[in-house]
Copies of this chain bind each other. A is one copy, B any other.
Amino acid sequence: MAQNIYDNPEFFTGYSQLPRQLRGLDGAPEWPVIRDMLPDLAGKRVADLGCGFGWASRWMREQGAASVVGFDLSKKMIARAKIDTKDTAIEYRIADLDTLELPQSAFDLVYSALTFHYVQNFGRLIREIHAALSPGGDLVFTIEHPIFMAAARPHWITDEDGRKTWPVNRYSVEGERHTDWFVENVIKHHRTMGTTLNSLIEVGFTLRRINEFAPTREQIRQMPELAEEAERPMMLLVSAHKNRD
């Protein structure tokens, strides 16, 4: 079972102040890339795994999705999502992605933002998602990049020339990573890029696009603090397709 750090009051308070939580999707610099990776949403039945406050769930309905079911482990986040959502075609459920069971062929799109790195048994979840998608359906997700997650002590260091540098070690050693983020000992699960992508291929997904988010020049001009994201990818964005045959 995944650690439920989001219901920790101290974590929740800090997390709720992130630009992407205050401003929603436009507060996430990777959002324009994700939007380009999404299929046409008109009439689609969507599952949003790790829906948080429901920003993406509501946006998908605005784009014409027929229905959205948002799942999150955090009671606090689901409670707030429900308060912020008037649309009756959006439903929110508390669920642990490590044990989540979904009905077969019930969704046309499964979307997940920055949640899968909390999942211990990724292979199980991907099988569940593949079965839950209708033929021709899509999976679009973002996850912390393994370059960002791998090291025993992941933090900026400086190279001989004074350049911001990210340390990589233990890359091939998959499993738990313990980091401090708002609170101590947030547990994430490191997997190599190969494992993540092969898990999709093995259950029958066709990979459509792989993006390692880096800010554009324009984004850096507007938010100079984004420049460091060009030095190493923090996020991996993936779209995958379930074939009709």
Contact = CB atoms under 8 A, between A and B. Distances in A.
Interface string A207-244: 11111101000000000000001111100000000000
Nearest to A211: B194
A164 to B, nearest CB: 6
A147 interface: yes
Instruction: With a 10 A CB-CB cut-off, give which of A157, A194, A206, A214 has the most chain B CB atoms.
Output: A194
By size class, the interface of chain A is: 35 or more
How often does this chain occur in the complex, in copies? 2
Interface in A176-229: 192-194, 197-198, 201, 206-212, 214, 229
Contacts of A15: none
A160 B211 CA distance: 31
Interface stretch (A58-66, A72-80, A125-133, A165-173): A165-173
A231 B168 contact: yes
Minimum-distance CB pairs A-B, first 8: A172-B214, A169-B231, A165-B167, A165-B169, A172-B230, A168-B232, A166-B168, A194-B212
Interface of A: 147, 150-153, 157, 159-161, 163-173, 192-194, 197-198, 201, 206-212, 214, 229-233
